[in-house]
Structure 1
Amino acid sequence: MTIGVHLEEFHGLPVLDFPDAGSHDELPDPASVAWRVSCPTYCDPEDERWGPAFERFLKTVDTSRVRALVVGGWEDAYDTSSAPAVAAIAGASDRLTALEAVFLGDMTFEDCEISWIVQSDVTPLLAAYPGLREFGVRGGNHLAFPSLVHPGLETLVVESGGLGAEVVRGIAGSELPALERIELWLGTDEYGGDSSPADLAPLLSGEGFPALRSLGLCNSVIEDLLAAAVASAPVVARLDRLDLSMGVLTDEGAAALLDGQPLTHLRELDLEHHYLSEAMAERLTAALAPHGVRVVLDDPQEPEDDGDGDVWRYVSTGE
């Protein structure tokens, strides 16, 4: 699967593309939408670049009322990092005084494949906005996330085809006392996803995340190992939702979940895009559904046999 549509909603608000230069469209109340500032990733000479578009946004919109900002594409995103955008947004903190949410890299496969997006150290954004409640980023290439302390962040989503171990350790080692939801797309080693369950240890212990209620460890080639890790992870006892979707989850990982700590307190267990047998899927449903747990088992996959004795299983989003 590839990402084929831009965000339509973010932070509970409809996403609105900031109009092109020369537009005479009437603008809505700045607090009523999530503003998407973007430029073509494959720029023609006459195309406005992201930096000037953002400067025009700051001059055009009442930035004291902007609650949510979506960074779409920037010029040559497959070759040029997000660092200038990160610096520009961080530098506008005295103007974006109501900002609660940022998403960095809202690009489809037509703009730039997820594993081609060149990211950067994104933590200056969080440092500049201690009141930020939601942060999302797409693309793991050159992404950096050194450990930090942030008092207000409630939602953190990192979408990638491969998330490096150093990034995972930085996130897991952060102190995010208000964080209620985290979703990490860990990906495959082919695209830089070289983390292991050990890298997630501080997160799974729950010590730095006392408010966590929704844990997503998604899109991973090591989904069975992750399932085994969460089966005994202290943080699971306080979760409402556990998400192990989009990855290579087999009967081995599902059995570990069933043999581990009780999951009957969950509101939802999301295993969409899985490699479970029908029998195992029925076991999971029989064990949890009577307790009111919604078990999501949509999009079952079949392994591919290449005819030479090798069997292949794929995560949902890689390229």
Structure 2
Amino acid sequence: MIHSHASSFAGLPVLPFTPGMTLPEDPSAVAWRLEVENSEAGPKEFTGLVRAMLDEVPHESVRAVVVGEWGEAYDRTLPVDLLVDAARRWPHLRAVFLADLLSEQCEISWLSHDDVTPLLAACPALEVLWIRGADGLELTPVRHTGLRELRIESGGLPGEVVRAVGACDLPQLRRLDLWLGCEDYYGDSTVQDLATILAGSNLPALRHLALCNAENADAVTAAVASAPVVGRLEVLDLSMGVLTDEGGAALLAGQPLTHLRRLDLHHHYLSEETAAAVVAALPGVQVDVSDPQEPEDYDGTIYRYTAVGE
């Protein structure tokens, strides 16, 4: 569950924009948050907010934008076209966070998205793109030479989006975070969908890979254990998922991971013995095996859950 908004983004403190507000002395030193207070607001209210920001905040000072509630986020797609038009007037825009909403505002798997490809096309200098939610999310494979960090948080990430990410040519991307989620929330991605990402041919600069919140964490971990991209990583994050001793054994039997700076496995279903074995095998690596989970037994059926679902 997500219970707090981003207080900082892309290294900048987040400041909500309000029409008529007194601007900070340096408007470029904040990440501007765009959000309508009324969750049932119509599209005109959010459009008016964006237009007011275009009128009142110097265009050249906008470095980062965080989009919060745009009005009935569960039923109305995030207006990417509106942001694309605005972004063309923000020449120094470097970071965008789409849908920084809390669970009480809208469950992550209900957030309604659209095709984000036009945003990438309109912002060749964009360096950071975060997206929360994946319902309706679309991406057409593109070449983008500016992007350094891509993060998609979801309760269930469609396989077609995972494949599209892998098919993108992102020569400067250093960090990739994908929350794969589970099938109950439309997360139908498979290990095969990850093949191009794990090969790493389109991601020569990648140093931080997170394949998180995965219901099929054991299968993902087994694929990662022999993936070519792992050899160039500094951080490998397989946290928040349903990782059991099967996945732990695959990790221990796979390629050496002693070159990593950090291995994140928190929120897992590893036994104490397997967790200890992973830590012992990587003496120079920061290994996080915190937050162990216990399976739940309902009438003889065992259930294990990802950290973020609905």
TM-score by length of 2: 0.97
1:53 to 49, 56, 60: 49
Q: Is the 1:30–1:63 Cα contact (8 Å) retained in structure 2?
A: no
Contact 1:41 1:111 in 2 (8 A): no
CA distance in structure 2 between the aligned counterparts of 1:89 and 1:233, rounded to whole angstroms: 37
Hey, what does 1:38 align to over in structure 2?
35
CA 1:241–1:305: 2 relative to 1, 3 Å: same
> Does 2:286 match 1:294?
yes
Asked if structure 1 preserves the Cα contact closer than 8 Å seen for 2:39 and 2:69, the reply is: no
- Whether the aligned pair in 2 keeps the contact of 1:10 and 1:34 (CA below 8 Å) is yes
Query: Contact between 2:143 and 2:170, CA under 8 Å: does it hold in 1?
Result: yes
Q: 1:27 aligns with which of 24, 48, 52?
A: 24
State the 1:24 CA deviation. 4.2
Aligned to 1:73: 69
**CA–CA distance in 2 between the matches of 1:77 and 1:267?**
38
What SS does the aligned partner of 1:52 have? Answer: helix
For residues 145 and 206 of structure 2, the distance between their equivalents in structure 1, rounded to whole angstroms, comes to: 13
* SS of match in other structure, 1:284: helix
Runs of 4+ in 1 over 2 A off after TM superposition: 23-28, 40-45
Aligned residue for 1:49, secondary structure, equals helix
Instruction: Give the letter for the 2:296 counterpart.
Output: E
1:301 is displaced (CA, Å) by 0.4
How far apart are 1:30 and its partner, in Å?
1.7
Q: Secondary structure at the match of 1:302?
A: coil
1:311 to 291, 302, 306: 302
Q: Show the counterpart of 1:97.
A: 91
Q: Deviations over 1:232-267 (max 9, x none)?
A: 000000000000001000011011011000000000
State how many pairs are aligned. 310
Matching residue within 261, 268, 281 for 2:275? 281
- Output the CA distance in 1 between the equivalents of 2:22 and 2:146: 35
Match of 2:151, SS state, is strand
Distance 1:228 1:68, change over 3 A: same
Q: Closer, same or farther in 2 for the Cα pair 1:182/1:73, shift >3 Å? A: same
Query: Using a 3 Å threshold, how does the CA distance of structure 1 residues 240 and 44 change in structure 2: closer, same or farther?
Result: closer
Q: CA deviation at 1:43?
A: 2.6
Matched-pair contact (CA < 8 Å) for 1:41–1:77: no
Letter in 2 for 1:311: I
Q: Secondary structure at the match of 2:110?
A: coil
Q: Residue 87 of structure 2: SS of its match in structure 1?
A: coil
Q: Does 1:135 align with 2:129?
A: yes
**Does structure 1 residue 223 correspond to structure 2 residue 217?**
yes
Structure 2 match to 1:198: 192
Q: Is the 8 A contact 1:114 1:161 kept in 2?
A: yes
TM-superposed CA distance for 1:269, in Å, is 0.3
State how far apart, in whole Å, the 1-side matches of 2:213 and 2:166 are: 17
Aligned counterparts of 2:240 and 2:6: Cα–Cα separation in 1: 19
- Paired with 2:83 and 2:21, the residues of 1 have a C-alpha distance of 25
> What letter corresponds to residue 38 of structure 1 in structure 2?
E
Of residues 253, 259, 268, the one that matches 1:265 is 259
Aligned CA RMSD, in angstroms, stands at: 1.4
- Displacement of 1:93: 3.3
CA distance in 1, matches of 2:100, 2:307: 18
Contact 2:88 2:122 survives alignment (8 Å):
no
Query: Structure 1-normalised TM-score?
Result: 0.94
SS at match of 1:36: strand
- SS across alignment from 1:200: helix
Question: How much has 1:50 moved relative to structure 2?
Answer: 1.3
Structure 2 segments unaligned to the other structure (5+ residues): none
8 Å Cα contact 1:247-1:315 kept in structure 2: yes
Consecutive unaligned residues in structure 1, runs of 5 or more: none
Of residues 152, 156, 166, the one that matches 2:160 is: 166
* Match of residue 64, structure 1, among 44, 60, 63: 60
**2:4 is the alignment partner of 1:5:** yes
Alpha-carbon distance in 1 for matches of 2:292, 2:88: 48
